[in-house]
Amino acid sequence: MRFFEILLSITNLLAFLGLAIPRLHAMRWKGYVSLVALLIAFAQIGVEGPRWQMIPAYGLTILFVLIWLFGIALPGRGHVHRIVAILSTGAGMVVFIVSIVLPILMPVFHFAQPTGPYGIGTVIYHWVDTSRPELFTPDPNDHRELMAQVWYPAKPEPSGPHALYIQDGDAVTLAMAHLLRFPDFLFTHFKYVTTNAVASAPIADNFSSYPVLIYLTGLDGFRAVSTFQIEALVSHGYIVVGLDQPGAVAMARFPDGRQISGWKKAEIDPLIMQSVEPQPNAPALYGKALPDGIIPYFAQDVTFALDQLSAVNISDPEHILTCRLDLGHAGTFGISLGGMTAGEACLKEPRLKACLIMDVWMTADVVRSGLQQPTMFITRDADTMRLERQRSGGWTEKDIALTLTTMRAVFERLPGDGDYLQIPTMFHLNFTDFPYWLPITSQLGLTGPIDGQRGFDILNAYSLAFFDRYLKSQPSPLLDGPSKQFPEVILETHRH
């Protein structure tokens, strides 16, 4: 809970006790506490912003003020005291408990401070690829557009307000709720969540340039959905570029207000699976047949992003990243659909020197041709996937087989170095920020038995070790064998 939310809860408690405990009825301060609570409620709304989880607290404050005013208007009336007693000991108790529990269960959360020596700056770009049509709109004259957010190493503790977790938060969270069939208001409080990044902060001058990583989110996510991992890498000296890819993300919103909404899983699955298990009758998108499915189209976004980053490196319109992008040491990483796209991009794009793929099956192209770059695969064992299915659905036996067999097939055929990690008790959503969203995700069966922060620590440690070894040529002892720090991780290595 935020400061004024905590303060409002405390004053509501005092007002509640003043009404519920008979010996406190004569205390003159109890009425003033109700007024103080009302003032704090206004302050909370004005300073921190209202959110639906606080509605019971607001209602309770108003109720206490009305009871106090009623007592002033009708002093000494016995029936007033009986009404007060009933409200205080019955419904008042229930509402008070709800007013405390609800904002705790769905908090305006905070990200842990990254462990690296750098601060974090961020800047956003809008890129238009005039050479390609936009397949996710019906207008054949539309061109492919991307929103790209770049996080970069900054000087420690940069000054300025912290950047929002989700830009255009209202539109994106509404789209997420719609696609997941949740109530529209469920994620609206995300618009108040900030990160450790500062917009347009001065870039760190420890090095002349920094390796570049392109991050790709899973289906119906958004470009910052793995902020825990992005910020960790940036704090250790990487520039990370997150892409909002129309058709992949829940909502792509452009500077002029235009929006492209994501598709429901059942609608886009045939286009994805065509890239994995091609069928003779190819699915179509607005009348355009896609015999190779949609993944090659998404992978072209990565190539386009590298081209745009090359232009930024020559002359950055934001005057921050000019000559600071080490595109000779570029890699990519992604979760779920983003991991599939990352694999396809690494197959087609030789400028990518390292590839990190998390918890997804590989396309038919990648399985058939293999990857040439050093590649790390991170997933779980089959039993953990079945446990996830038991608790929250999904992960059919076909899903499990496709994920484990295709990732392992590509790993075993790597001509160079590779790593294959399994993290038992980790569910699919543990690879994203989701454990921050709801503190009780594990109890609800949405994330695995592993502690959420423990999962983040493992992913961040191995991601950093992998990219340090292959993009910075630094020793990474964590990849040399079993780890005492992370004994639960099952690591297989492929070295040449």
Q: Would you state the structure tokens that stand for residue 349, as one six-digit string?
A: 């794009």
The single-letter DSSP state of residue 142 is P
- For the stretch 289-301, pLDDT in tens is 999 999 999 999 9
Provide mean pLDDT across the span 367-377.
Answer: 98
What pLDDT was estimated at residue 78? 47
- For the stretch 246-304, pLDDT in tens is 999 999 999 999 999 999 889 999 999 999 999 999 999 998 999 999 999 999 999 99
Would you place residue 17 in the very low, low, confident or very high pLDDT band (cuts 50, 70, 90)? confident
Phi first, then psi: what are they for 304, rounded to 5°? -60, -40
The answer on pLDDT for 48 being more than 50 is yes
Q: Which residue has the higher pLDDT, 158 or 491?
A: 491
What pLDDT was estimated at residue 30? 63
Task: Say how many residues make up the chain.
Answer: 496
Between CA 153 and CA 413 the distance in angstroms is 35
Q: Would you state the structure tokens that stand for residue 7, as one six-digit string?
A: 């303060």
Between CA 163 and CA 142 the distance in angstroms is 31
Q: How far is CA 82 from each of CA 18, 25, 68, rounded to the nearest angstrom?
A: 14, 12, 14
Q: Which residue reads 């072209």 in tokens?
A: 300
Chain centroid to CA 179 = 16
- For the stretch 439-474, pLDDT in tens is 898 999 999 999 999 999 999 999 999 999 999 999
The mean pLDDT value of the chain amounts to: 92
The answer on pLDDT for 14 being more than 90 is no
Both ends of the chain: CA-CA distance in Å? Answer: 51
Q: Which residue reads 């015999």 in tokens?
A: 291
Contacts of 424 (CB under 8 A, 6+ apart): 380, 381, 383, 384, 450, 488, 490
What pLDDT was estimated at residue 158? 83
Between CA 242 and CA 44 the distance in angstroms is 33
The answer on pLDDT for 26 being more than 70 is no
Q: Which residue has the higher pLDDT, 23 or 425?
A: 425
Q: How many CA atoms within 13 Å lie on the side-chain side of 228? A: 23
What pLDDT was estimated at residue 168? 86
**Residue-wise DSSP of 153-164:** EESSS--SPEEE
The single-letter DSSP state of residue 114 is P
Provide mean pLDDT across the span 202-216.
Answer: 97
- For the stretch 60-95, pLDDT in tens is 898 888 877 877 776 655 444 555 555 555 666 788
Say if CB 147 and CB 244 are below 8 A apart: yes
The single-letter DSSP state of residue 488 is T
Provide mean pLDDT across the span 307-332.
Answer: 97
